[in-house]
């Protein structure tokens, strides 16, 4: 006897409207707005498009992790620890800011880039950890194919019997890039102690009889086994979307720009540490990235 799958109900749908960010970059933000300020453990989700003469020059972070997922183009990164590299289509970078990091993210020369960047809160006990990077290349991502109309890139977590290669974030989370052709249907299990959302990058899907379209983000209740999603036979084309879930952190979120703490006092301290190059920001003193200087753009 099989147990009946109980889908999670929709709690909110938010449309990601385009806005300016960084220097000349355009993003569609669906978490980190007045509509959805945060969705523990998630602090921000940007669907970014950056032209060759734009980018995100030197800037700090503290108290969170960032996950960058490249959809198209080549994106260079560099930080004050000496780490640097390039992400290509399908590649991911998991960066833990911890107690402090300053970095830059700039398109490789003559490149326009598109991708997702997600900010994830760190548990209180890990906010003072040392910064670190973990890269995941496109060729390393396993793929689940529950039927001939569905392809699921298992970036983190488990889908239809396929496990991700490794845990890349300190905060437990699942991350899938799903492509579904017209006439397809899936049920994706999600851990019971996770929040989960679904962001549409291309096309549209049907959930609870509702049509969810490109650039919309669907947030779900915590009750239920997971998500139930379909693409009708008469859909105009394939749908592509991200399913992202993370462990609910029962802690305060106090955020000011790139600093995420659990109290106003800790936020004030983060700004003071950054300004005085101390307590994690020592290497910021006199540092500037080489990639931000290319062509005198910034």
Closest alpha carbon to 295 in 113, 112, 108, 114: 108
Residue 103 marked as a ligand binder: yes
Helices (H), 106-243: none
Residue 160 marked as a ligand binder: no
CB 171 within 8 A of CB 97: no
Residue 105 marked as a ligand binder: yes
Query: What gap in Å lies between CA 275 and CA 163, rounded to an integer?
Result: 43
List own/partner pairs for 205-212 with CB under 8 A and 24 or more apart: 205/180, 205/229, 205/230, 205/231, 205/239, 205/241, 206/230, 206/231, 206/232, 207/10, 208/7, 208/9, 208/10, 210/10, 210/13, 212/13
Residue 61 marked as a ligand binder: yes
CB 280 within 8 A of CB 127: no
* Binding site members for Fe cation: 59, 61, 103, 105
């Amino acid at each position: 006897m099989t147990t009946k799958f109980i889908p999670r109900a929709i709690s909110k749908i938010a449309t990601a409207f385009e806005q300016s960010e960084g220097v000349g970059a355009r993003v569609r933000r669906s978490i980190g707005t007045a509509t959805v300020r945060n969705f523990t453990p998630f602090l921000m989700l940007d669907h970014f498009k950056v032209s060759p003469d734009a980018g995100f020059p030197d800037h700090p972070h503290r108290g969170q992790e960032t996950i960058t997922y490249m959809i198209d183009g080549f994106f260079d990164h560099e930080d004050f620890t000496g780490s640097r590299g390039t992400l290509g289509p399908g590649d991911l970078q998991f960066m833990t800011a911890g107690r402090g990091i300053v970095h830059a993210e700039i398109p490789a020369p003559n490149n326009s880039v598109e991708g997702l960047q997600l900010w994830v809160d760190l548990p209180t006990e890990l906010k003072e950890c040392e910064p670190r990077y973990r890269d995941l290349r496109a060729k390393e991502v396993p793929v689940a194919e529950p039927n001939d109309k569905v392809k699921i890139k298992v970036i983190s977590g488990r889908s239809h019997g396929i496990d991700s290669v490794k845990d890349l974030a300190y905060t437990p989370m699942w991350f899938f890039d799903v492509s579904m052709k017209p006439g397809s249907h899936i049920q994706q299990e999600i851990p019971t102690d996770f929040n989960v959302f679904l962001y549409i990058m291309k096309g549209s899907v049907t959930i609870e009889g509702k049509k969810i379209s490109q650039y919309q983000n669907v947030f779900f209740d915590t009750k239920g086994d997971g998500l139930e999603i379909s693409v009708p036979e008469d859909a105009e084309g394939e749908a592509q979307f991200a399913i992202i879930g993370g462990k609910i952190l029962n802690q305060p979120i106090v955020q000011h720009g790139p600093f995420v703490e659990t109290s106003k006092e800790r936020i004030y301290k983060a700004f003071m540490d950054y300004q005085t190059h101390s307590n994690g920001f020592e290497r910021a003193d006199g540092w500037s990235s080489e990639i931000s200087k290319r062509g005198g753009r910034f």
